[in-house]
Structure 1
C-alpha cells in the first residue's frame, strides 16, 4: 500500500525490523494513461513525492533514473511509445548508515529514548502527469512588499524556440492585480511583475499574508509555443516580509510574538507518512485551535500538502532538516545536496518563515571545538541565505550557534519561577547565554563577529516544557512527569505564565503537539485528541487562562474530543 512505509500498519506489512533494500512493482495500464489525457506528441511524467532513501527506477526493464535523498521529490519521464508499462523501484535505506539524513528515525532495531520506528521506501504520493513537450518544469515566487512587485522564477523543460511566450494573470478573489506577458528566450528566467495596489500604503494590509489574515494571490500561467500545445499552470503566493529588529521577530515590518509548538509529524498507523490527505489539514487546524500561531516541524521535511494548508489557513512554519548522526565528507555532501533540494521545493510557501539546517549539533557533535564542523554549519547558513535571502536562518537550533538570525535556546527547566528568572528581561537572558548555558552547552561559538551578530539577535526559547502524564502503572516518558490531567493543567498554567511574563524573549516553542511513540509529552495524544479541553489549552497558550484549576476534574474522552481530529480519515489506496 503506497505511500505507506512497510514498518507501518497502514502498509499492510507492519514489520518493524531492518529493511535495507525494498522492491516495488506496478503495472500501469492504458486506462491509467488515458486518465491523464495523454496523447501523441506529449510527455508522460512519473512524479515521486519522497522515497527514503536512495531510489532506482526501471520502466519496462529500462533503467531511467536514480535519486538520493529521502525527503525531496523527483520526476521521471516515461519513454516514448508506451501504451502501458511496468514500473520497478528499488529502494536502499540502510538504517545503520549514520551519514544518511534520517532525523528521528532510529538506527537501532527497537526505538529508544526520543527516536522512533523507521519510515523506509515510498512515503509520499506517486502520480502520473501528461504535459506538452515544452512545459513549465519548475517555478517559484518572491514577493517584494516595498517594491510593489513579485518575481517569478521559471524553468522550462528545454531551451525555448522563437515565439515562446508566457502570459501571467494575478488576482485576489475577484480583484485582478496584474496581467503580464513576456517573451521567453532562455530556459531559466526571472520575471518581475508590478503589483500597483501595493503602492497604496493605506490599503496595503488588505493584501498582506499573516496567520490572522492568510491572503493568497492566485496565479494563472500559460506558456504558448508555436506548433505545440499550451501549458497551463495554476499557482499562488503570499505577500509578506519577515525580519528582525530590536530583539523582536518581525512579520510585515511589525513585531510578532512567536507562539509555537514543536511537531514531529508522526502517526502511529503510518509513521512519517500522513494516514490520508485530510489528516494534513486536520493537523494545521489542531495547531491553530490550541492557540498557536507557529509550528516548528522537528526533524522532518513535511508533505507539501501540509504546507499548502498552513498557507491557506494561516500558520507560520519553521522548516528543519532531518539530521545525520556522524560528521564526515559523505554526510556533509549529502546534507548540502538534500538541503538545497528542500529550499528549492518550499521557497514559495508564505507560511515558511525560518529555515533550520541543524538541530542541537546532531551530525556536528563537536562543533564547539572542531573548525571543520563549524565550517559546515556556517556554510549551510550562508548557502541558505544565497538560495533564499527573504527568510531567517537558524544555524543550529538549541545551542552552539555560529552566525544565526535568531538565538534559539532549548531549556527544559520545569520550575516556573526558575524558568522566568532566566528570561525575565534582556539582562537575565544575557546572563543565561554568557559562557555555558543551563543546558550545559555553549550558546555562542565561532568568530568574534559571528558571536556578536548572534548575541544581538532576538532570543527564542525554541524548546521548553515536555510535560507527560505518568499515572502509576504506566510507563511514559517526558522531561517532567505529572500524575493526572489536573496536575498537567496546573503545571502548564505555571510554565506558560512564565513564558508570557518574559520580556527578554521574542517567542517560544512548547514541546510538543502530540504523543509520539514512547514520548508521551504531547498536549494531545497520539490520536490527536487534546488531553485537556481544547479551549482551555488555547486560553493558556494565548495567555488569558492563567488561573489554576480550582478542583481536580475528571477529563473524559468526550470532553477531550477535538473536531478537526476526531474523525481521522481513512488511509490512501
Structure 2
C-alpha cells in the first residue's frame, strides 16, 4: 500500500526536498527526510505460533494462513483486528512488496539501493524476503534497517515475512509498563507484541547519508555528526545549509571533505546571527517560542555534483543545571510536566493515528503544562516532532527490565544507547532518565552491583550526550544525578506543603527516608545543591460516569468538585515551596485500570479544561 501522503509534504526546501520543520507528521523519521518513501503499513497476513513450530515448518517462505492484521497495531489491541491479549510469545507477519511500493520509495538509476525500515518491533524480530534471510534485531522500542537491494527485482512482486518473539515471562527484556501477568494489574498494562511502529521502504544512492545528529555547541553554533552508508568517492564533501522561517538563505553554511577512511563526519556549524547577544532570543527554541531551523545536508563528489541530499531541522537551545536551578537557554526555567503513558484503549502503545500524536501534544499544552515525561516507553519519533514544533519539553526515558542479571544489563544498556542515539537531535528532549523507581535495580539502596550499574549507565548516557542533564533513577535512591527527583503520592495538600516547604525541609528529605520509605540518596551520593523536582505526585482517582470495578488511584475524590480541589491544593503546595524547581503530575490520561488521569482514556477532560489549567498554572 503506497499513500500519496508519503510522497509530498508541505513547502519544499531548496532542491525539491520537503521542508522538515513544516512536514505533516506522517514521515516516520522526521529529522532526516527525502522526497519519496513507501508506507508498508496496512493489512498484512498474520499467524500466532504458540508452539514455536513456524521455523521448522518453513513459514519464512510464506504463512499457511489467510488471517489478517492491521499494521502497526499490536495483535493484543482492538485496532489490529486480532484483539487477543493472552500469552502469544511468537507471531508471524506477511506482506507483498509490489512494483508500486518500489516506485513509491523512489527507486531509480540515481537511487538504486532499497532500504527496509522498521520503526519498532517488540521484542526480537527476524525478517525474510522470498524465503531468503534478511537479518534480525533485538530491542522492542528502537528502529532498525536492512539493505534489501540484492533481494528485490523491480519488475516482480516479493514476499516479506517477519517473525517476532516476545516472551511475556522474560523479565530481562526491557518491557516498561507491559504486564507479565495474563491480565493487567496494578500499574501495569496489556502487552505489546510484534510490529507497533511504521514499516517503510526508501531508495537511496550507492553512497548516501544514513544518519544525522545535532547537538548544541554553545549559544553560537551546533555540532553535527553525519554518518554515511556506502563508500563515498575520493574528494567527496558534506555541505550543510541552515535556513530559518524561509527568510535567511545563508545564515549558516559549512562544507567539509569526507575523510577517505571514515563513514562518520563531524563538523561545527556556526550561527552568525546568534553572536548579537541582544538578538539571540529571536532564534532560540523554547516551549513558549518553538522556533525550528531548517537544514539541508548534501553529499557531493569532487566535482560538486550531488550524490545525496536530505532535509532536517534543529532547535537552537541549551539545557543544563546550575546550583539549584534547571536552565533552559542559560536561564532558570520551572518545569511544569505531566506523566504521559502514551497508551490508547484501542491501540495500546501504538498511536491510533498520526493525528493522535499531534493532538496529544496539543492537549498537554492546553492543560497548562510546558513539559511531559514519556513514561517507560520510547515514543514514536513523530510525537517528538510535534513536541519540537508546537513546543513542550520532554524527558526521554527507557522501558525498564524487572530482573538484575548480566543478560538484563546487556539488553537494557544496548537498547538505551540506541534510544539516545535515535532521539538526541530533538530540541524538545531536555533530560534523560535511564532508570525509574529502581526497576531492574531493586536493591540499589545497599547492593554494590546495582549501585555500580546505576552509576555506569548514568555516566554512559553523559558520554553519549554531554549536552543534557541525566537523572540516575527517577523517584528515589539516586546517586550521580544532575537533578534530585522525588515521587510522593501524598494526597493532602497541607501535608505536601510541609514536606517541601523550605531549606530545612529539603535537608530533612535528603538525609532520612523519603516517601514510600525509600532513601532519596544512596551510596556515596550527597546533596550538593542540585535542583529538586517532584517528578511524580497526584494520581487522584476520579471517574465521571460509570466506574470500573478494578479502578484505582493513589487517593480517591468523591466527585469532580472534590477532585479539582484536591489537585489545586497539591499544586498550591508546590508553588509555595522555596526549593522545588519542577513537578510532574500523574497522569495525563486514565490508562486501563489506572483512573487517575486528568483526561479520560479517550482524551476527554474530566472537568472543564480551564479548571484543570487554572489548578496546574495557578492563573486564570
Q: TM-score, normalised by structure 1?
A: 0.92
- What is aligned with 2:256? 182
Equivalent residue in structure 2 for 1:480, among 542, 555, 560? 555
Does the 8 Å CA contact 1:425/1:505 hold for their aligned counterparts? no
**C-alpha distance in structure 1 between counterparts of 2:398 and 2:83, whole Å:** 26
**C-alpha distance in structure 1 between counterparts of 2:295 and 2:225, whole Å:** 13
Equivalent residue in structure 2 for 1:151, among 215, 219, 223? 223
Does the 8 Å CA contact 2:298/2:306 hold for their aligned counterparts? no
**C-alpha distance in structure 2 between counterparts of 1:273 and 1:161, whole Å:** 41
Deviates more, 1:103-112 or 1:223-232: 223-232
**C-alpha distance in structure 1 between counterparts of 2:313 and 2:477, whole Å:** 37
**C-alpha distance in structure 2 between counterparts of 1:457 and 1:180, whole Å:** 38
Alignment of 1:99-248 (within 5 A): 99-146=172-219, 148-173=220-245, 174-176=247-249, 177-185=251-259, 186-225=262-301, 230-248=307-325
Deviates more, 1:32-41 or 1:51-60: 32-41
Report how far residue 145 of structure 1 moved: 3.2
Does the 8 Å CA contact 1:54/1:67 hold for their aligned counterparts? yes
Task: Note the residue ranges of structure 2 that are not aligned, 5 or more in a row.
Answer: 1-69
**C-alpha distance in structure 1 between counterparts of 2:528 and 2:185, whole Å:** 35
Equivalent residue in structure 1 for 2:464, among 372, 387, 405? 387
- What is aligned with 2:600? 525
- What is aligned with 2:47? none
Equivalent residue in structure 1 for 2:93, among 24, 37, 61? 24
**C-alpha distance in structure 1 between counterparts of 2:592 and 2:511, whole Å:** 36
Distance 1:204 1:69, change over 3 A: same
Alignment pair present for 1:514 and 2:589: yes
**C-alpha distance in structure 1 between counterparts of 2:94 and 2:243, whole Å:** 43
Report how far residue 248 of structure 1 moved: 1.2
- What is aligned with 1:93? 166
Does the 8 Å CA contact 1:241/1:251 hold for their aligned counterparts? yes
- What is aligned with 2:390? 313
Alignment pair present for 1:541 and 2:616: yes
3-state DSSP of counterpart to 1:230: strand
Report how far residue 167 of structure 1 moved: 2.1
Report how far residue 225 of structure 1 moved: 3.2
**C-alpha distance in structure 2 between counterparts of 1:372 and 1:64, whole Å:** 38
Q: 1:142-191 CA distances to partner (integer Å, 9 max, x unpaired)?
A: 12233x11111001002322121222110111123212222212211101
- What is aligned with 1:560? none
RMSD: 1.4
Alignment pair present for 1:63 and 2:153: no
Report how far residue 455 of structure 1 moved: 4.7
**C-alpha distance in structure 2 between counterparts of 1:155 and 1:426, whole Å:** 48
**C-alpha distance in structure 1 between counterparts of 2:334 and 2:216, whole Å:** 22
3-state DSSP of counterpart to 1:333: helix
**C-alpha distance in structure 2 between counterparts of 1:436 and 1:179, whole Å:** 54
Alignment pair present for 1:39 and 2:108: yes
- What is aligned with 1:548? none
Does the 8 Å CA contact 2:446/2:523 hold for their aligned counterparts? no
Report how far residue 473 of structure 1 moved: 6.2
Does the 8 Å CA contact 2:114/2:203 hold for their aligned counterparts? yes
- What is aligned with 2:477? 400
Equivalent residue in structure 2 for 1:9, among 78, 92, 104? 78
- What is aligned with 2:119? 49
Does the 8 Å CA contact 2:112/2:149 hold for their aligned counterparts? no
3-state DSSP of counterpart to 1:335: helix
Does the 8 Å CA contact 1:319/1:356 hold for their aligned counterparts? yes
Q: How many residues align?
A: 540
Distance 1:250 1:9, change over 3 A: same
Distance 1:262 1:470, change over 3 A: same
Does the 8 Å CA contact 1:407/1:455 hold for their aligned counterparts? no
Alignment pair present for 1:419 and 2:496: yes
**C-alpha distance in structure 1 between counterparts of 2:423 and 2:559, whole Å:** 41
- What is aligned with 2:450? 373
Equivalent residue in structure 2 for 1:78, among 142, 148, 153? 148
**C-alpha distance in structure 2 between counterparts of 1:154 and 1:473, whole Å:** 53
Does the 8 Å CA contact 2:509/2:520 hold for their aligned counterparts? no
Does the 8 Å CA contact 2:444/2:450 hold for their aligned counterparts? yes
Does the 8 Å CA contact 2:216/2:467 hold for their aligned counterparts? no
Does the 8 Å CA contact 2:226/2:265 hold for their aligned counterparts? yes
Does the 8 Å CA contact 1:428/1:504 hold for their aligned counterparts? no
3-state DSSP of counterpart to 1:279: helix
**C-alpha distance in structure 2 between counterparts of 1:59 and 1:114, whole Å:** 40
**C-alpha distance in structure 2 between counterparts of 1:101 and 1:314, whole Å:** 29
Does the 8 Å CA contact 1:145/1:239 hold for their aligned counterparts? no
Alignment of 1:549-568 (within 5 A): none
**C-alpha distance in structure 1 between counterparts of 2:234 and 2:579, whole Å:** 59
Alignment pair present for 1:445 and 2:522: yes
Report how far residue 226 of structure 1 moved: 6.2
Report how far residue 384 of structure 1 moved: 0.2
- What is aligned with 1:570? none
Does the 8 Å CA contact 2:197/2:350 hold for their aligned counterparts? yes
**C-alpha distance in structure 1 between counterparts of 2:321 and 2:464, whole Å:** 19
**C-alpha distance in structure 1 between counterparts of 2:230 and 2:537, whole Å:** 50
Deviation beyond 4 Å, 4+ runs, structure 1: 226-229, 470-474
**C-alpha distance in structure 2 between counterparts of 1:489 and 1:528, whole Å:** 17
